[in-house]
Structure 1
Amino acid sequence: MEHSSFILVAKDGTGSNVTKTRPVVGKAVSFGRSPDNELALRWDGAISRHHGTILSDRDSVTIRCNPNARNSIVFQGSVVRELTLSSTDEFEIGATRFSLMRQALHSEMFGGQGENEEEPQLASQITFTARQLRAAAPDAPEKQLTALAKIPALVESAKGGLELAERLAELLLQTQPSADAAAVMEFHKKASDDNEGSPWGDYVPIHFSFDVRATLTSEFRPSKRVTAAALNSGQTTVHSWGMSDQAGLQATITDGLGWAIAVPVQAAEVCWCIYISGPGMIEQQEQLASNCRFIELVGEFLRSITTANAFHERKSALSSFLSPSIAEKVLSTDGVALDPCESLLAVLFCDLRGFSRISEEYQDDLMSLYKRIRDALGVMTRGIIDADGAIADFQGDAALGFWGWPIGDTAPGMSAVVAALSILKDFSNATAASKQQRFAGLSLGIGIATGIGLAGQIGTKHQAKIGVFGPIVNQGARLEGITKLFGCKMCFDKQTAEQLAGAEMFSDKPVRQLATLQPAGMEDVIDVFTLVTPEDESMSAEPEVIEGYQQALGSFKEGAWQEVRQRLQPWVDKDSPSRFLFDHVSQFGSRPPDGWQGAIQLSKK
């Protein structure tokens, strides 16, 4: 349910009969003389029992007379049966005058905004420090406690911050018998590159929720001057305008109101301002301080609720791409850790293979295809998150994770390899355990690169996401593609391999250097390594094979290719890296190509 941004007040000619309504967007409000109408106007005999309906959308209100209604709408001298208004205005039916007031925050809602319009001369200003308000005695403690006790229920029932602001404005007006208007205004801090002037200094208005008593005879427009003073000073501020024989609080920008209180409430990235205004004078300073103290207590509830909601929203968002422990550390920094920065990072690129093939098989059952891909991406995500990594992106059937940000890590490559091993194991177990063979025809390839990169909240001021940027991202993707050449599940670079050297947790998993490669389109060469895992069915874990391959690789770099073939010949049928290197040497015979420098140049990405 979304309330309209308009309030419609109806009153008779003398002002003794007054009522009002705040429509719900898209829901018709009936009005007429009969008491069963939602807006009952029982005092006016010129209005039919069921006279018509009021329908509101987000930007306008339409008043429509029923076919049998006796009297039409009178608007600016014209007689009509239907009227649509989009701003503050008035019309009449019979002896009843209707005043439409817009609730949304527009500059015309504030006094002193027009070129030729100025606020009345300021007669007095009072500000209260927090210490002064803490010392203020409650004016009606039981009534105030009862009102404060209602706030949790308002919070629970309100659907979002805007509806909560509306409810609080209504509550404030109920608890302030000397006030005729109450408003809760939402402001944001100006961006650092925003040089446009604002009447509110460093603040920009976002939304304006208010409630007025039906007896208020003029349009309610809060003063920007007292609002700006409260926002910029951070203190509760009271303004009065005009001259008086008595020292008191006089008229404000709205006719009929004699004083105004503005209470700033800073909460997370939002600043609220609670505004109360009423007629006449507040005779006693103690009473004024008591009223301000109560309004500040309501503001404290609003601040706490807004801060808590923002915290839980951020925590929920962070939990989608960070592990719970890392998310908690980020939240403890008040968001500073999300700023982009250069760090030592490890990037993991995990690709789902076989997707194109099974896409053709499932072209008539896309939902089943989606569920299989979703489950596979879920295995990748869990592996990255459980190893305290961050999810940077999903690229179709691939996932990109990284380590070293937002919490620094001296060996991020080690964490990335731990995640890779977990992903491969869980994918294999899920494939074996699934009766529906949900991963049949699918396999994984993983590339890991370690180096300096930029990580953080990356994007424009209008749209941003957590991401990683730099050459290591491309290198990680290239290493994933290289796994296909060597028939292994995982490839990583030299810096990652160095972080694994001597680590006890990898003592039972041999690290193998596969080759030195120059990927297509890259000037730099990459020393490519892998870790032998149980999931690598075509790659041997036998110490004799691994040692012999390393010796053959040394000969390969030195250009002794005839020796390479002799060393690898016994293992080509049981070790895929040996098969790749043997076949590559066989293409050229016993001698390397001219200009050989020890690196294989790849022609395809």
Structure 2
Amino acid sequence: MPDLIAQGKRRQDRWRRRLPALSPPIVLGREAGAWSIAWDPCVSRHHLQFRMRDGLLVVERLPQARNPVFFRGEAVDQCQLEVGEHFVVGDTTFALVDHRAEVSIAAPVPDNQQTFSPGYLREVGFRQAHQQIQALMRLPDILADTEIKPELYGRLVDLLLTSITSSRGAAIVAADALSGPDATSMRVLHWDRTDGVLTQLQPSATLIRESLTTGQSIVHAWHRRTVSSESLQQQEFDWAFCTPIPGADCRGIAIYVAGETGTSAPADALHDALKFVELVATAVGNACDMRALRQQAAALSHFFSPPVREAVAAAGVDSALAPRETEVSVMFCDLRGFSRRSEQQAADLFGLLQRVSEALGLATHEILEHRGVIGDFHGDAVMGFWGWPVLDGDRVTHACRAALAIRDAFETAADSSQPIFSGFRSAIGLATGVAVAGKIGTVDQVKVTAFGPVVNTAARLEGITRIFDVGIL
């Protein structure tokens, strides 16, 4: 898909965003999130909306916009742009471009190469601290406001190009594999260049591979006399450096910056730039890891009650979820009426799935509400247990109270006006005994569950509730 480039009067008033192929209309304005034009007072808070349609960018001025949209020299309320065209609002030009960036193995051997470890860059100070601190003050807002990674990459590239005065191009790059001589496993996630050159950016595969392999910032520099018209240096860059983004969530991702320093020695001229990018990379890596941990915690919330989640967070996932033998109370809860409903709704399986999911949700809610763990789902049945990963002296009481609450919830739902629960009843088997609980499974698939005869006993007790015509046994 094409990109939309916004460029104001000043060099730093700029961004480049990839246009989504299929999306509702996107609003652009002075306060429009990732599509904001904060630098131009002529742009209203919500000035226009646009979307891609049949390869054209369809732009529509919003009624509340104070100033016109100019397209091909005329004020318009609506226009359609082809790639290569632009429109103007106030002092900002918006260009529709379709330039791709690809990692290249054609970069010449650098005349100079220097390596800087993260530890070294942390120890040295900024030479122009005020300028870099001003730029770093923007980083927390970028990390806090941007949850989607493609948007994060775009705003990071904007920050790099507007903060490093000698930069002319920047990219966020990723390597799926670091072995082999070619660049087929490397991708450019987002890029931009501010030197007015319309050709694509071609980051050096060699530089990216060396940086990611060593985990250090590496600078490549070329003398002007070595510039080759067939190489990366056609873009008039005389230096480039690459800095890995640390952390598990950003493994294999790096920041790539290229530009020109004139007659200055690259290492001296890039001193502050290297330290600045190292700080940015560290902050981004830490933020992404924290975001991943929050997502893991949200995923765990579907299986563990809050007290159990707190124990897992305190001990660490690997330690807390390690399989161990312990005494547990197990519940096996089955939906009565499922077989009959599945026959009746054979032509509407998605509808049946929704009904079963809603019904099982009544059971899982009560298991979690009573400090239990969701162990597994077996078709129309759910297994929960108590006594792991934290010892629970009241596990039997919690399991029994959860069973009574599930029975009451189904009875209440069946008597309500909600047809989704009609025809369903609960059948529950409870058993207490020794089991192995934790992360259990094979190399290919792991579940957090309990394993042992007590689980089979609970399932059998649920099965014979029919014989005694009771809901809980």
**TM exceeds 0.5?**
yes
Q: Any conservation in 1 of the 2:16–2:154 contact (CA below 8 Å)?
A: no
Structural RMSD (CA): 4.8
Compute the displacement of 1:228 (Å): 1.9
CA offset digits 1:21-71 (Å, max 9, x no partner) = 854435245599xx9778x677xxxxxxx99633xxxxxxx789xxxxxxx
Amino acid at match of 2:400: L
Q: Any conservation in 1 of the 2:371–2:386 contact (CA below 8 Å)?
A: yes
Residue 322, structure 1, aligned to residue 304, structure 2: yes
2:372 corresponds, among 361, 365, 389, to 389
Amino acid at match of 1:266: P
Residue 146, structure 1, aligned to residue 134, structure 2: yes
2:458 corresponds, among 462, 467, 476, to 476
Distance 1:223 1:36, change over 3 A: farther
Distance 1:261 1:333, change over 3 A: farther
Paired residues for 1:242-321 under 5 Å: 255-271=235-251, 272-281=253-262, 282-283=264-265, 285-321=267-303
Aligned partner of 2:158 in structure 1 is 170
Q: Any conservation in 2 of the 1:447–1:481 contact (CA below 8 Å)?
A: no
**Partner Cα distance (2:467, 2:412) in 1:** 29
Which one scores higher on RCO, CA 8 angstroms, separation ≥ 6?
2
Distance 1:385 1:23, change over 3 A: closer
Distance 1:392 1:229, change over 3 A: same
Distance 1:468 1:474, change over 3 A: same
Look at both structures and tell me which one has the larger radius of gyration over its CA atoms.
1
Q: Any conservation in 1 of the 2:362–2:410 contact (CA below 8 Å)?
A: no
Distance 1:22 1:427, change over 3 A: closer
Gaps of 5+ in 1: 11-18, 43-49, 55-61, 65-97, 104-108, 113-117, 191-195, 246-250, 492-605
Gaps of 5+ in 2: 8-14, 23-50, 60-66, 86-95
Aligned partner of 2:103 in structure 1 is 110
CA offset digits 1:270-322 (Å, max 9, x no partner) = 22311111135543644422111111222233123212211111111100111
Aligned partner of 2:12 in structure 1 is none
2:403 corresponds, among 420, 424, 436, to 424
Distance 1:159 1:416, change over 3 A: same
Compute the displacement of 1:363 (Å): 11
Q: Any conservation in 1 of the 2:202–2:232 contact (CA below 8 Å)?
A: no
Compute the displacement of 1:214 (Å): 4.7
Compute the displacement of 1:135 (Å): 4.0
Q: TM-score, normalised by structure 1?
A: 0.55
CA offset digits 1:329-355 (Å, max 9, x no partner) = 334555424877464474421123355
Residue 160, structure 1, aligned to residue 148, structure 2: yes
Q: Any conservation in 2 of the 1:199–1:228 contact (CA below 8 Å)?
A: no
Distance 1:348 1:7, change over 3 A: same
2:333 corresponds, among 339, 350, 366, to 350
Distance 1:278 1:355, change over 3 A: same
CA offset digits 1:119-144 (Å, max 9, x no partner) = 42232221223343234333443333
Distance 1:270 1:381, change over 3 A: same
**Partner Cα distance (1:427, 1:371) in 2:** 19
Q: Any conservation in 2 of the 1:453–1:469 contact (CA below 8 Å)?
A: yes
How many residues are paired up?
406
Compute the displacement of 1:469 (Å): 5.7
**Partner Cα distance (1:361, 1:121) in 2:** 71
**Partner Cα distance (2:450, 2:100) in 1:** 45
Q: Any conservation in 2 of the 1:252–1:260 contact (CA below 8 Å)?
A: no
Taking only the aligned residue pairs, the percentage that are identical comes to 27
Amino acid at match of 1:102: R
CA offset digits 1:192-241 (Å, max 9, x no partner) = xxxx945699x965652111125235431111222222222222221224
**Partner Cα distance (1:137, 1:216) in 2:** 34
**Partner Cα distance (1:31, 1:356) in 2:** 52
What SS is found at the alignment partner of 2:243? strand
Compute the displacement of 1:187 (Å): 4.9
What SS is found at the alignment partner of 2:125? coil
Amino acid at match of 2:242: A
What SS is found at the alignment partner of 1:229? helix
